[in-house]
Structure 1
Amino acid sequence: MKKSLIFFFATFLFFQIAKAQTTEIWVVRHAEKEKSDSQDKNPNLSEEGKIRAGDLARFLKKENIDVAFSTPYKRTHQTLDSLVIPKVINYNNIKALVDSVKTSYTGKKIIIAGHSNTVLEIIEAFGGKRPRAELTDDDYDFIFHLTVKGDKAKVKMDQYGVPHHL
Structure 2
Amino acid sequence: MKKLLLLLSVIFLFYQSVNAQTTEIWVVRHAEKDKSNPQEKNPDLSQEGRTRAGDLATYLKKEKFDVAFSTPYKRTNQTLDSLVIPKVIKYNDIKSLVDSVKTNYVGKKIVIAGHSNTVLEIIEAFGGKRPREELTDDDYDFIFRLTVKGDKAKVKMSQYGVPHHL
Instruction: Give the TM interval when normalised to the shorter protein.
Output: over 0.9
The runs of at least 4 consecutive aligned structure 1 residues that moved more than 4 Å come to: none
Scaled by the length of structure 2, the TM-score of the pair is 0.98
Report how far residue 11 of structure 1 moved.
1.7
Distance 1:161 1:116 in 2: 17
**Number of residue pairs matched by the alignment:** 166
Which one-letter code corresponds to 1:51 in the other structure? T
Which one-letter code corresponds to 2:15 in the other structure? F
Report how far residue 88 of structure 1 moved.
0.4
Report how far residue 106 of structure 1 moved.
0.6
Name the residue aligned to 1:131. 131
**1:77 counterpart = 2:77:** yes
Q: Structure 1: which 5+ residue stretches go unaligned?
A: none
Which one-letter code corresponds to 1:162 in the other structure? V
Name the residue aligned to 1:140. 140
- Give the % identical residues: 80
Which one-letter code corresponds to 1:75 in the other structure? R
Distance 1:52 1:7 in 2: 51
Q: Structure 2: which 5+ residue stretches go unaligned?
A: none
Which one-letter code corresponds to 1:8 in the other structure? L
2:164 is paired with a residue whose SS is coil
State the Cα RMSD in Å. Answer: 0.8
Name the residue aligned to 1:36. 36
Report how far residue 8 of structure 1 moved.
2.0
Distance 2:91 2:5 in 1: 39
Distance 1:3 1:39 in 2: 65
Report how far residue 7 of structure 1 moved.
2.0
